[in-house]
Amino acid sequence: MHLICGKKRILLPYSETPTIEIKDPSIREAGVKVLMKREDLNHPFVSGNKWWKLKYNLLEAGLQGHHTLLTFGGAYSNHIYATAAAAKESNLKSIGIIRGERTLPLNSTLRFALDQGMQLHYVSRESYREKETPAFHEKLRDQFGGFYLIPEGGTNELAVKGCEEFGSMLNTIQADYLCLPVGTGGTMAGIVKSISPRTTVLGFAVLKDAGFLEPKIHMLGGGSTDAEWKVVTDYAYGGYAKRNDIVTAFMRTFRERMNIPLDFVYTGKMMCAVFDLIEKGFFERGTTVLAIHTGGLQGGS
Ligand SMILES: *Cc1c(COP(=O)(O)O)cnc(C)c1O
């Protein structure tokens, strides 16, 4: 599957991804079945949910005749990484507005973004807080000229639309529960819009103080679905992008046993939480749990 659009060639290849069964003594004991959709394998750099969040944004940028994408993120942002790669593949320029000061040497995320041709522009933490205001956008337009703006984390209506399409694809897999990690909530909002009502969606918040997420997901589309869904807030493991010993140990064992890499910000926390819930007997015997590997491994590192 390729995206090709109008005068500008928007090109983003997609590889079909497998659904595999995760086997473990604790899963067998609990009498449940655990599947994993390996969406991390859909593209080498624009991986997992980021592919789906960018899909319709890239098409729209092409339709509107834009030559440049502009977006926002922290120094380790998967979204910055994915947008830089997607722009390069689509022959679009890209600008990344990065929170905080430049530190050298650049970390591997920003190094990669720069190598993809992304222009990096650093702003102070105070200015960064203004990133959603029209005044700030106007300043950026004065500075950089015209661009197609994608918000921090990539969540907007078109991102939700892409994830809705992903969710309808997932309906070929019969599951009682669908589990995924949640940052801004855009991916979950799209999935709950199209998922079969037989499936309960559990989103695992990776940040602290995640009370804003349910109202936000409701607004982005969760309000118009028959499916049950819930944001689980007990498994942030110290907060956004914090390294946690339990999660780190879990990820190592998971990789050794299943040969599947997870990342410590999103999928590591989510799978660690799913195994904890399995051990606690949260999932009824005989049910099928589908976990989404949302990617984010930044080129397999
Ligand atoms: C960005 C990201 C998420 C969070 O997606 P949201 O739509 O912001 O909730 C989850 N998993 C991975 C691997 C990500 O890179």
Q: Is the peptide bond before 105 cis (omega within 30 degrees of 0)?
A: yes
Tell me which residue has its CA closest to atom 14 in ligand 1: 296
Quote the pLDDT of residue 52.
97
Pairing relation of β-strands 93-99 and 119-123?
parallel
- Locate 37 and state its tokens: 């959709």
Residue of 294, 297, 298, 301 to mutate, ligand 1, most atoms within 8 A of C-beta: 294
Residue 7 CA to ligand 1 center (angstroms) comes to 31
Q: In the chain, pLDDT over 70 holds for what percent of residues?
A: 96
In this structure, the strands spanning 148-150 and 68-73 are parallel
Per the CB < 8 A criterion, the answer to whether 164 and 156 are in contact is: no
For the residues 193-219, what does the mean pLDDT come to? 97
User: Each residue of 35-87: pLDDT tens digit?
Assistant: 999 999 999 999 999 999 999 999 999 999 999 999 999 999 999 999 999 99
Distance CA 153, CA 275 (A): 27
Which distant-in-sequence residues (6+ apart) come within 8 Å of 280 by Cβ?
none
Residue type, 3: L
- Cα–Cα distance measured from residue 235 to residue 250, given in angstroms and rounded to the nearest whole number: 13
Residue the block writes with tokens 């819009």: 193
Q: For residues 75 and 97, what is the distance between their CA atoms, to the nearest angstrom? A: 10
